[in-house]
Structure formats: structure tokens, C-alpha cells
Structure 1
Amino acid sequence: MIQLWAGIALLTLLALAFIFLPFAKTRKQHEAAIDRTEENIHIFKERLAELEAERDAGTLQPATFDELKLELEKNLLEDAEGQPSSVNAEPTTVVGKPQLMAVMLIAILIPVMGLGLYHQYGNADLVELTLNRQDQPFAKEGRQPTVEEVVGLLEAELAKKPDNAEGWYVLATTYMNMGEFTKATEAFQKVLLILPSESPQYPLVMGQYAQALYFVNGDVTDEVRQQIELTLEREPNEVTALGLSGIDQYSQGNFNQAISVWRKALEFAEPEAAESIKNGIRSALTSLEEAGEPLPDVPELVDVALPLTVSISSELLAQLSPDQPVFIFARAVGGKIPVAAARFTVKDLPITISLDDSMAMTPQMRLSSQSEVEVGARISMSGQPQASPGDLASPLLTVTVAEQEEPLNLLIDHVVQ
């Protein structure tokens, strides 16, 4: 056993030696992603504290609190894993492939990451998969494995240890991206059999299983419809199941019902999936118009954006390094958590951008959901997303979202006390 761990340590050090140099050269490119992760964690904690305060004050029902807390946790987990889970209104589109492939390659190429994380969270069963790769042709040939080779390793590992829910989930989502939908349904079934039914992830897997069944059948069959209903009984806001339910209504010509379901899905969908759902709503509206039927009001389709021009006073600019982070944000009046935010550096200033829903921190807190917002810009002297004394900032401007068409001018001109 000592030889095994010593071998793992040696391989890890060698892998890190090869990986470190190119990563060091691209460090600046990764700072934005790192800061975004830290910002999301900070926002998660702040939002959770606000929800707890509202619950304790009696203004938020416990059931609503639990639902919002679960949604916050799910969003944070999906952001950390880099694997958003959603369904598009267009049935042939599968989202999340770049994120999934990145995770797969990291698990194969960086043993220390897989070993440490899986050991810490009770998933050490997949460590053997990393060890086995040393005997594979791609390792001996010094090349990266193909997707098929990675899948083969994972299939072999799961054949020996079939009770690994995470392994089956990774395999299922990989099958989906490969177009192997029948195999994906079988793998999702394995996850549902192994994963505790009270797990917060259980409804999410149920929705993805329904999606896999949909792709297998090419239509919303009775089997697919039953799985959609079971998922929504467990979690009424599960986005994948809602998206499929809208597709079902649309295919039956029930365009108003489809729009209603998709509007609900928009409340919880990530920005990328939200745009696809909006396209489905637009298609349903077109069908209603062609049939001569009255069109329902869909405010979610109104594109909301705040154009901004951000600059810094020449006196303060002389005190800064070009790589100092700049945070530009919009938040509810009197609130703390941004409904839209973007990160740049001092060297990017002056800059003109538009804040919109694609820059939301969570699906439930979007720019389009606010009538008025506070807009500001801040240069973080500590490099952290949260404000602290000594940062440089612009005055906060309160604007009416729907009425703002001309770019707002934000001048960073004072030190935060």
C-alpha cells in the first residue's frame, strides 16, 4: 500500500511539473475565472444570510426558504463543477459539452486532483481509473486519450464497482454528448437506483433521464411524459423537465400552454439555456400569430440592457497597476448582491459595455426582474470581489432599467472609506 501511494505521489509530481509551466504563462487568463468563483461563493453566503434573516423575521415561509436555499446550493455546485445542467427548447441541442469534456480531461490528466477530491468526498473508487490509465496505449504513446478511450476506462471501472453513483452520472452525461442516448438512459437509471431519493440532486437526475428518453424516442411519448410528471411532482421547478413539458405542449399545438410552461422554466434557467427557451417561446408566438389568435404578454422577451461607459480619473490612474481588477455591477436599490456584474482590469479602461441578464449571478436575480437598480464601478485593491476600505469607486447611480437607453457615465474618482 505504501508503494502504491508513493507511486501516486511521484506521478502527481511529474504531472504537475509538466503542467505548471504552461499554466504559469497563462496565469492572468485564469485570474478572471478564479475571482468569479470567489465572488460566487461570497454572493452565495450573503444571499443565504439574507434569506435566513427574512425567515427569522417571519417574512419568508420555511418551505420557500428551503426551496431558495436548495436553488442557491445547486447553482453554486453547477458553477464550481463547470457543468451546467439544462435543457434547450430545441430538442437536438445538448448543452454543457465543453464543461463536461474539461472535467473528464482533468480527471484523467491530473491524478492529484481526482485523488484528493474523490478521497475527501468519499469517491475514491474512481482513483483506480486514473491508475489503470498508465497501462493504456495512449499513456505509453504519450498522447491524450480519446473520448472513446476515456469512456472505455470508465465502463471497465464501473463493471468492477457498479455502486458508484457519480461514475454512472459522468458516464451518462458523456453518452449524451456522444449521441449514445440508449446507453445514457441505462446509465441514468443506474444513478437513480444508487443515489438516495432524498438527495437534492435526485430530481435533477430524474429530469436528465427524461431528456435521455426523449432523445431515444425522438418525441414525447407516454413513457417520456410519465417521467416528466414524476420529476415535476418531486421538484416543480426542475428546469429540464419544464423544458420538455413545454416541448410536449408545443408539439400538440397547445402554444399558450407551452409558453406558460417555458416562462416558468425561464425563472430558474441559466442564461445560456434561457436564450434557447426564449427562442421556443418566440416560435410559439409566431404559431399563434399565424393562426390569428391573440398573443399573450411575455415580458421576459423584452431585451433589457444597461449601457455603461466606465473611466477613471487621471489622478487615481497613476497609482494603479494595469492588472488591478475592476468590477462593474448593477444591484437592487439598497441591496448587496449584483443582478448583473462584469470583471475587467485597469488597462481596459475606459470601456463601454452593456450589463444584461447573461451577467446574472443566479437565475432568480436578473437585471430584467428589477424596475430600478443601483449601478457602480469599483477597483479592488485587494483583488477580492467584496468591497473593502481603500478600494477606488465611482458614485452609485440609481436608474430605471426600462427607460435607460443612453450610456451611463461612471467615473471612478474616490477612495472607499
Structure 2
Amino acid sequence: MTSFWLGIAALTVLAMCFVLLPYFRARRALSQPQDVAVDRQAQNIAIYKERVTELDAELDAGNLSNDDHAGLKLELEKNLLNDVADLEALNGKPLRLTSQTLVTAILLAILVPVSAIAIYGEYGRVDDVTAMLNGEADPFNGQTPSMNEAVTELEARLSAEPDKPEGWFLLANSYMNMQRYQDAARSFARVLEFLPEDAPQFAGVQGQYAQALYLANENQMNGQIRGILDDILANEPYEVTALGLLGIDAYENQRYREALGFWRRAYDNAEPVQQESLRSGIESARQALIELGETVPELPELKSASLRIKVSLKPEIAASVSADSPVFIFARPVGGRVPLAAVRLTVADLPAEVVLDDSMAMQPQMTLSSVAEVEVIARVSSSGELRPQAGDLTGTISPVAVQQQVDILDLSIDHIVE
């Protein structure tokens, strides 16, 4: 930390020098003899006389007419008069350095570092800099701590520094993994104390808070939890965790159609892993409704698709690439550009059999099952990027029907991108 403040001091001195340097330069200039203007005037007169002598010689030699000679001489006289006027103006307004000038320079030199320190004190991160430069002692002596040890250490840090919302969030998720749901709920509540209600993360943390309370209450809904869920959905109608909890509660109370509605609303905004869980719930609710003799509309969420592909590299062109070159295998809509599912291998892995399915979707609403046909492409990338470039090796199968595709597709990388 000492070196940090020494660096700040050095920069401060440098900034003060930039402010004071013009004053001392002007002072030194005033202390020198004031004969510069005289010397310059004498030089101008000498140059004038020399040029007039040259013009007279040109006139005598017949190289200039009388009119040209008179015009050039007049021009020289004007230039000489202008130089003399400039020197007189300069000498008429001499530079003066008063005590007020010195005071102003000193005040500015002091104001610059004082202002900088004040601004840094308000907006800087001196505590973080101190921690980074000094380093914190490793409480585990280089050993990988157990979950209990890590949580105990985090609890101690938050006890000393309770205004760290990131720490409370990490602690809350750790408690959830340890099934300490009451503690998790308290930690999520602390996170919400720091988050403004219009923060984009607020609804998500609220959902996790409600989930922790629900699990702590032995998977039973109560007025507090329902009130939190209603508040979440009033501000974020598609918050996945809140909708998931309401769906579970409805299903447990045999309100299957209501559960189906909650889970379907959550499905579109869910991550792929969450979608798998929601899909199972939707299927269970659907089967329950069918067993009760109720009609159930077609549910696109239950449509799933997967493609099994055997990828090989044509031997005639295999020698042109290295074994560690990346190979991208992906499916995209016919004529489209955005992949619906993708896998990355290397040339050394070929030949290989891969599976592309809905769980590999890059966007929740763009899955294999969302289209009827795709084109399947394998590309050895010379640049390491998915975008094709000249010199890449590629192979394509198109079109491929997505639904009920049971055969293994044989895809050969057989030509070079021009």
C-alpha cells in the first residue's frame, strides 16, 4: 500500500509542476537583459539595407525596370515599418508578475491535488485497492476447503462486513445446496435489502427467497409465500421460479389444469435445464387430466427432437488440417443462419457420433422441435470461429425432417470452402 500512496504523491507533485512551471518561466524571462527587441530591430534594418543594395544592383544591370524597382523597394519599407510597430507594441505592454500572480499560481497548484483526493475519497475504491495490494491471508493455507468450512468463513466475513450483497447471495445459494432453507431465506432477505425494486435482478432474487421459504415450510404454501409470489408476478408476469412454485402448489392440490397453465407460462422464459424440469411437470399434469377424462389441447412444449449424426472426414482432404483444429457440428433452419443446436469437437475426435437435441438450444424459443426441417452442417474451422471462411472444410445434409427422425445421419466433411 505504501508504494500506491508514493505513486499518488509523485503524480501530485507532477501536476503541481504543470501549474507552477509557467510562472517560473515567465519570472526567469523577466530577469534576463531587455535588449532582445533592440537586437531584432538592428537585424531588421541591416536586412533592409542589404535588400535595397541588391535591388539597386539589379536596376543598374538592367534586370529591373524603374517601376519594378520602386515597387519592390516600397514593399521592403512597409515590411520594415510593420516589424518596428510590432516591437513597439511588445515593448509597450511588458509582462508583469505581481504578488497576486504568485498567490494565484500557488492556490491552483494546491487546488488540483486537494480536489483529486476529495473526488477519490467520494467515488474511489480505496478499500478494494488496499485489499488487492496487501492481499488477504488464506484461511485455508492453500487447501481446498469443505463446503462447511467455506460457509463458516463466508459467515465470518459477512459478520464483519455486512454490506456486501454479493456475499449474502453466495451464502444464500450455499445454504440452499446444504438444504439449510431457513438460513437461505434469511440470506436472500438480506440481498433484497440492498437491491432497489426496479433492479432487473430483484424479481429473480424474490423468487429464490419465496422458494427458500416454501422449502423451509416443508413444501407447504402459506400467506407470506403467496403474498411474495403475487408481488413478483405483478411486476414480472413470467418469472420462472414464482410460476414454478405456484404450479407445484396447484399440482399438489390436484388443480392440474391450473398447474399446467403456470408451468406453460414459465416454459418460454426458462433456461434449457429448467425447461427439462418444466416439461416433466407439464407431461405429468397432462396425464393427470387425461386420466380424469378431460380434454387436453396439443402442447408444443412436449414436442422434443433429437438427431443422431455420424461425422467423418474425407481422407483425401484430411491431410490439409491439423488434429487439434476445431470441428463444429450444428443444425439450423433450412436457409437460416442461427444454429438451433451445436456441438464442438476436434479433428482428432473424428469419426464420431453425436446427438443434437432441444437441450442444446442457444435461445429458449429456438429449438430443433420448433421447426419442421433443418440442414445439418459439419465444418472444420481454420480460424476457430463458427462463421465460414475460405479454406474451411465442410459437409452438409439438407433438408432433414426433424420429427420422428430415427435413422443415424451419415455426414461427411468432403469439400473445401472457396
**Shorter chain as normaliser: what TM range?**
0.5 to 0.7
- The answer to whether the 8 A contact 1:125-1:161 is kept is no
Aligned twin of 2:239: 238
| Distance in 2, Cα, partners of 1:213 & 1:386 | 47
Q: Taking structure 1 as the reference length, what is the TM-score of the superposition? A: 0.66
Which amino acid is 1:394 matched to? G
In the TM superposition, what is the alpha-carbon distance from 1:295 to its structure 2 partner? 3.4
Paired with 2:155 and 2:2, the residues of 1 have a C-alpha distance of 28
CA drift of 1:274 comes to 1.7
Q: Unpaired segments of 5 or more residues in structure 2?
A: 6-123
Q: Secondary structure at the match of 2:340?
A: strand
Structure with more relative contact order (C-alpha pairs < 8 Å, separation 6 or more): 1
Cα distance, 1:122–1:196 mapped onto 2, change above 3 Å: farther
Contact 2:375 2:396 in 1 (8 A): no
In the superposition, the TM-score normalised over structure 2's length comes to 0.65
Counterparts of 1:163-242 in structure 2 under 5 Å?
A: 163-218=163-218, 219-242=220-243
Question: Greater Rg, structure 1 or structure 2?
Answer: 2
1:389 matched residue in structure 2:
390
Q: CA deviation at 1:344?
A: 1.1
Contact 2:372 2:401 in 1 (8 A): yes
Tell me which residue corresponds to 2:51.
none
The structure-2 alpha-carbon separation of the partners of 1:289 and 1:122, relative to structure 1 and needing over 3 Å to count, comes to: farther
Aligned residues: 298
Q: Which residue of 2 aligns with 1:298?
A: 299
Could you tell me which residue of structure 1 aligns to residue 344 of structure 2?
Answer: 343
Q: Give, in whole Å, the separation in 2 of the partners of 1:155 and 1:306.
A: 47
Q: Deviations over 1:241-286 (max 9, x none)?
A: 1211211221221111211221222222222222222222222223
- SS at 1:196's partner residue? coil
Matching residue's letter, 1:144: T
Distance 1:123 1:250 in 2: 50
Query: Which residue does 1:274 correspond to in 2?
Result: 275
**Aligned-pair distance for 1:313?**
1.1
Task: Provide the rounded CA distance (Å) in 2 between the counterparts of 1:133 and 1:209.
Answer: 33
**SS of the residue 1:174 aligns to:** helix
CA distance in 1, matches of 2:390, 2:127: 42
Do 1:327 and 1:343's aligned partners in 2 also have CA atoms closer than 8 Å? Answer: yes
Q: Which runs of 5+ in 1 are unaligned?
A: 6-119
Distance, in Å, in 1 between the alignment partners of 2:329 and 2:393 is: 12
Distance 1:288 1:314 in 2: 55
Contact 2:334–2:398 (CA<8 Å) still a contact in 1? no
Asked whether the equivalents of residues 125 and 164 of structure 1 are also in contact (C-alpha less than 8 Å), the reply is: no
Structure 1 residues 148 and 125: alpha-carbon distance in aligned structure 2, compared to 1, 3 A threshold: farther
Measured at CA, do residues 346 and 121 of structure 1 come closer, stay the same or move farther in structure 2, by a change above 3 Å? farther
| Match runs of 1:298-337 below 5 Å | 298-337=299-338
Question: Structure 1 residues 181 and 403 mapped into 2: Cα distance closer, same or farther (>3 Å)?
Answer: closer
User: What is the CA-CA distance between 1:4 and the residue it aligns to?
Assistant: 9.7
Amino acid at match of 2:167: G
- Distance in 2, matches of 1:399 and 1:143, equals 52
Identify the residue that residue 255 of structure 1 maps to in structure 2: 256
CA shift in 2, pair 1:158/1:296, >3 Å: same
Q: Distance in 2 between matches of 1:416 and 1:383?
A: 15
State yes or no: 1:286 paired with 2:282: no
Give the counterpart letter for 1:258 in structure 2.
A
The 1:397–1:195 alpha-carbon spacing in structure 2 relative to 1, beyond 3 Å, is: same
Q: How far off is 1:126 after superposition?
A: 12
The Cα shift of 1:131 comes to 5.0
Shift of 1:317: 1.0
CA 186–321 in structure 1, closer or farther in 2 if over 3 Å, else same: same
CA distance in 1, matches of 2:224, 2:130: 33
Shift of 1:159: 1.9
Matched to 2:366, the amino acid is: M
Shift in CA distance, 123/282, structure 1 to aligned 2, threshold 3 Å: farther
| Contact 1:133-1:153 within 8 A present in 2 as well | no
Contact 2:341-2:361 at 8 Å conserved across structures: yes
Distance change in 2, residues 1:153/1:206 (3 Å): same
Counterparts of 2:126 and 2:339, CA distance in 1: 35
